[in-house]
Structure 1
Amino acid sequence: TLFCPSFCPQPGSIDSNNQLFAPGGRLSWGKGSIPAPGDVNGTGAESPVSWGGFWKGPRGLGAGQRLILVLPAVKQEPAAPAASPKPTLSEEELEKKSKAIIEEYLHINDMKEALQCVQELGSPSLLYVFVRNGIESTLERSTISREHMGVLLCHLVKAGTLSKEQYYKGLREILEIAEDMEIDIPHIWLYLAELITPILQEEGIPMEELFREITKPLVPIGKATTLLVEVLGLLCKGMSQKTAGKLWRDGGLSWKEFLPEDQDVNKFVTEQKLEYTMGGDSSDTPSCKELTSEELCKQMDKLLKENPNNQRIYDWIEANLSEEQVSSNMFIRALMTSVCHSAIVFENPYRVDATVIRNRAKLLQKYMRDEQKELQALYALQALVVKLEQPPNLLRMFFDALYDEDVIKEEAFYKWESSKDLSEQQGKGVALKSVTAFFTWLREAEDESDNN
């Protein structure tokens, strides 16, 4: 074992095994603990001494001989302080920012922008403040504002930005004082239901979990059923009694959970017309009210504007319209008018969003069961375009989309083209002229198909 003066300039001491130690040092040579001898900068470059202490450098060192160096402990420089994380907003700051986000969202209804702004708040443990502010700021506004706020909260929960715990906490802070607020806001339970219902309609939280959480502060004061009856009422309007009742039963819910112990459950269910929550057949469902054409169009417009999936529209139709109404020309025309109106992009010039027609194709096909119904749908589309003062090329775009999605077949288009029905002649001449190229193409395509 040899001594290397280039690494140990001070005389060392020899131990009983004739091994050399650097002055002030100790036997400590660990991989990675200090730079290898010769690697004075700690870069890991090749050095005369291998990283196990075996000498590779100067000639004359015998095989098996090794140099052991024990260097004084290297003084480590203190590590640079880590970059401080973005400071968490105080509750007061978050409340101020929340109000600004909510006001902007309710004004322009830009869901994507609102979701991003809430995410950028970066305070997941304080988002109950956002929930509380969202509810407070819409309680005395319009129904549309409350529904929009409810949809935003639902999307935040589904995106994972807002935890269910934070959602419940913000809602609970309002529910705990709702009974006192009832003096100034007599319809507060309906308004709260309008804020809560979207999260059930969009399947953000299961009914059984939501109902049991939101009623915790209400059961002791006897207000739990007041809120739940309002929520279920809105669900029945937006979906159907059948669907709402199934959600209740599938969740294992019972009115006993929410009523005072001394209250008769069956009497309560009968008085509130809640038999659909107890199971049984559709005899519990009240008879369908006959809607006028105007009322039907208005309801269809509302459903389509809320952009639910087609199943929710099927459910509403099943719950609110009789078979006779559904098979009527009035219903077909109302449905076609509402779907086509929702597909128009009101820019200059007007254009058709073919994606809307594609998404609603199955809805239209379900009720346009024959050529006569398809003809009625085309009459409704003609009337809509005439009402809009025949925007250039709009009818042609609709015809293309409806044909491409197999909503209207060739026979119905030809029947509309040749129809002489006097009640359907308003604007027919201009409409026909605007789709001349469509019918030319249709006939040529048919001829090619026959030849092939």
Structure 2
Amino acid sequence: MTDYLHLRHVGKLQRRYLGNIIVYLTNYNYLSIQHFNIAYKQFCEIASDLALDIPDLWKYIIEFTGPLIKKKLITIYDLWYKQLKEDNAPSFGKRFLKTFLDYCLREIGPSFTRTIWKKTNIKWTDFLDEKEVMSFIETNSAIVFEFKEDNFNSVTDNVELLLKQEAAADCIIDYINGNVGDIDKQFIRILATKLCDFAISYKENSYKLETDCFQKICIPVLQRYIDSKGEFELECLYSMQQLVARFEHPRGVLSDLLGELYDADVIPQDSFIK
């Protein structure tokens, strides 16, 4: 396998075909995942040496195993043995994780990537030293953001459904708590947009803020997650400005939104003038 994957005349398509053949043989019981694991373990024993001569080693391996990943015949932990982290330099795990995420996002999709990350209980520290996690996220923010944002969009789509079902604010908060691990600016922006959009109605050829709905449902949720954090307050304000701009600046809507947030102590005066 290792003699084949990196040859000059072997491209991405050929590696995918080879992976599809393994999927076919496995589905029809000619091979088992145990056979794959035995062969892959042998590869892992020489992986660090191969990487010296083949800089794109992980790219080739994941292009080959991609069909098995997509069919959920293997997980990321079938490709990343604990021994690989212990026996190699930290950059080895970085290259693997970046290549794996990039492939899954580009070739299979953000929803799939988010799902396997959550269901497999993947941890950054299984591939990186703890002190390097934040550096990796910052350096690869475009990749990390893509599958996080998809998760946030999925959650806020369900929040929108709860709003339409007239769920109480506590119910929405319970749902978010159970489905979002880390609250950050991206989530606040998406959440604030959904909540405010829901509370704005179009009647008699004009947009209007439904203050009763906004006070009972939207404000408690925003209050819970903005939590007096300055960066979240600003993100909420930006999202409202963008939403109102999308509606072509209907008279009074933005001032009504800001007034409600100020009166409810969700956003203090200092944030309005930043």
TM-score, normalisation: structure 1: 0.30
Question: Larger % of helix: which?
Answer: 2
Q: Flag the structure with larger Rg.
A: 1
The structure showing larger relative contact order (alpha-carbon pairs under 8 Å, at least 6 residues apart) is 2
TM-score, normalisation: structure 2: 0.47
